[in-house]
C-alpha cells in the first residue's frame, strides 16, 4: 500500500517560520510535491523535489531525503494568507506517474 | 487560457440517481486526472487519461463510476446509482508530459475548482 504521514495541524504566528514534515512509504517514487489548498479552493502547486536537497521558491522551500523517505516544506515570514491546508504528494513514476497525496496539514497563522 | 474548468460546481441528487461531471483541461495539457476529496482528507486518485486513452483506474473505484475523454479534450465522469458514500468533492487536474524521459512537468498538476456532490 501507499502511505504518506503529515502532522494534522500546525499553528504559528505571523512573521514566524514553520516546517511541515512528510514521511512516505510508497511502491514507487519519482518525486515529492507540495500543494496548498485554501478552504473551499482547489489545490495549487507549490514545489517539487526529484533529487535530494533543498529547493527554494520565494518564501517557500522544500527539502527531500530519498534515503530517509522524508521531506519537508518550510514557510518563512508567515502571512495570514498562508493559512491553508498543505499536502505532500508522491509521484509514483511509471507510465501513469500519478500523484498519491497525504492527508494534509492544516496551518493556522495567528496575528 | 482560463485554467481547468469543471461543471457543475455543485450537484445535489437523490440516492440512486445518475450524475455526470465535466472537466475542460488546459488546452496544451495531454494528461488528465480525476481525484476525489472528502473533508479533512487529501485528494484520492480515481483515474487517468493520456490524450484520449484511459490508462489507469483506481481499484477502489466501483463499476458505477465511468470516465471518458473523447478526442483527448474534455472529460466526463459519470456516477451511476449514486450512494450517500459518493458525497465528496470531485477534482479534475491536468498536466503536460513531453515525449522524453523527463517526467518533471507531469508532476505539476493544475486542478480545477471541483464539483461538489451531495447525495441525499
DSSP strand pairing (A9-13 vs A105-110) = parallel
Note whether A28 contacts B: Cβ–Cβ < 8 A. Answer: no
pLDDT digits (tens, 9 = 90+) for A51-85: 999 999 899 999 999 999 999 999 999 999 999 99
At residue B2, the pLDDT reads 75
Nearest by CB to A97, which of B91, B106, B110?
B106
CA gyration radius for chain A? 13
pLDDT digits (tens, 9 = 90+) for A21-56: 999 999 888 899 999 999 989 999 999 998 999 999
What is the chain A residue with the closest CA to B48? A96
Q: What are the E-state strand segments in B51-87?
A: 53-57, 65-68, 75-79
Nearest by CB to B108, which of A45, A101, A103?
A45
Cα–Cα distances in angstroms (integers) from residue B54 to residues B73, B83, B101, in the given order? 13, 24, 20
> Can you give the pLDDT of all 120 residues of chain B as single tens digits?
579 999 999 999 999 999 999 999 998 888 999 999 999 999 999 999 988 899 889 987 889 999 999 888 899 999 999 999 999 999 999 988 765 555 555 578 999 999 999 999
Residues of chain B neighbouring A44 (CB-CB closer than 8 A): 111
Residue positions counted in chain B = 120
Amino acid at each position: 500500500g501507499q502511505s504518506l504521514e503529515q502532522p494534522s495541524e500546525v499553528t504559528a504566528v505571523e512573521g514566524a517560520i514553520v516546517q511541515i514534515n512528510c514521511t512516505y512509504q510508497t511502491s514507487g517514487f519519482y518525486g515529492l510535491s507540495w500543494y496548498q489548498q485554501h478552504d473551499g479552493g482547489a489545490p495549487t502547486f507549490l514545489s517539487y523535489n526529484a533529487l535530494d536537497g533543498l529547493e527554494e521558491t520565494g518564501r517557500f522551500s522544500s527539502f527531500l531525503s530519498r534515503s530517509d523517505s522524508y521531506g519537508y516544506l518550510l514557510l518563512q515570514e508567515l502571512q495570514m494568507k498562508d493559512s491553508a491546508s498543505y499536502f505532500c504528494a508522491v509521484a509514483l513514476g511509471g507510465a501513469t506517474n500519478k500523484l498519491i497525496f497525504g492527508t494534509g496539514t492544516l496551518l493556522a497563522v495567528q496575528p | 487560457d482560463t485554467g481547468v474548468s469543471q461543471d457543475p460546481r455543485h450537484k445535489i441528487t437523490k440516492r440512486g440517481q445518475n450524475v455526470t461531471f465535466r472537466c475542460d483541461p488546459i488546452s496544451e495539457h495531454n494528461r488528465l486526472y480525476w481525484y476525489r476529496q472528502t473533508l479533512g482528507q487529501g485528494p484520492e486518485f480515481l483515474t487517468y487519461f493520456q490524450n484520449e486513452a484511459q490508462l489507469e483506474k483506481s481499484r477502489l473505484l466501483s463499476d458505477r463510476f465511468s470516465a471518458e475523454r473523447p478526442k483527448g479534450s474534455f472529460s466526463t465522469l459519470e456516477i451511476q446509482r449514486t450512494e450517500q458514500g459518493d458525497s465528496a468533492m470531485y477534482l479534475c487536474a491536468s498536466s503536460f508530459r513531453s515525449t522524453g524521459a523527463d517526467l518533471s512537468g507531469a508532476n505539476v498538476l493544475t486542478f480545477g475548482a471541483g464539483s461538489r456532490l451531495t447525495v441525499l
